[in-house]
Structure 1
């Protein structure tokens, strides 16, 4: 860390403005880019008719379900499409989960994968996300998986 501080001081001391601009602009741009990842956004944005099946594994019971019924897919996807999530803390080091959810397109390829922990929390790409505008229909999914 000290060597970085010395390097920054050396570059700022130089008379060349290019070095000063770069050393100041790069961290600012990186900070703004990282901050933008915390803007609330939709995790799921899929047309229900593009989904062939949804595979859900219940991490608390070991039950799993492969949902292929069009009405059930429509309900789940419309619900998930309507939820806006905000990035929260890192999920690294946390064990256990409720519903490991995998969504497949008509070609059988995975289009989205995440973990539903509760009606307002999911785990996605190494972070927890909290629902902001509405909640995940956790009870409906639980009823499908545990029947």
Structure 2
């Protein structure tokens, strides 16, 4: 009985450490080549308008900026609503980009991708550049 309890506690401890590392390790926002992107659709949660960005220079600037961003999970986002910009990235094959697609930019240092909010820990999101395009 004692041996089973020690084994169970060891498994729980290993899982807790693993989850702690997973939760706190910085991650890249994205890793896309800007020339693979054909369109970025930005839905402005403040105005209710969608902007379709197809200009190659604007796409390059946004994608290069987002490629530099490193994030860290900050808190659960379940139950939160409202946002500034919802980004959807389309590739040249017509499909949406995998992984970090349909994420929400709340500010130059906060992103929401359910089920978490993420804080930027390296670089800053060029929030003003995106706002200048969509407003």
Higher RCO (CA-CA < 8 Å; seq separation 6+): 2
Q: CA RMSD in A?
A: 1.4
Cα distance in structure 1, aligned partners of 2:74 and 2:104: 14
- The C-alpha deviation readout for 1:37-58, integer Å capped at 9, x for no partner, is 3211112111111111111100
Which structure 1 residue ranges, 4+ long, deviate > 4 Å from structure 2? Answer: none
5+ residue gaps, structure 1, are 1-13
Aligned length: 131
Q: Which structure 2 segments of 5+ residues have no match?
A: none
**In structure 2, which of residues 33, 41, 45 is the aligned counterpart of residue 59 of structure 1?**
45
Q: TM-score, normalised by structure 1?
A: 0.82
Q: For 1:32, which of 17, 26, 31 is the aligned residue?
A: 17
Query: Counterparts of 1:56-135 in structure 2 under 5 Å?
Result: 56-111=42-97, 112-135=101-124
TM-score normalised by L of structure 2: 0.89
Larger Rg: 1
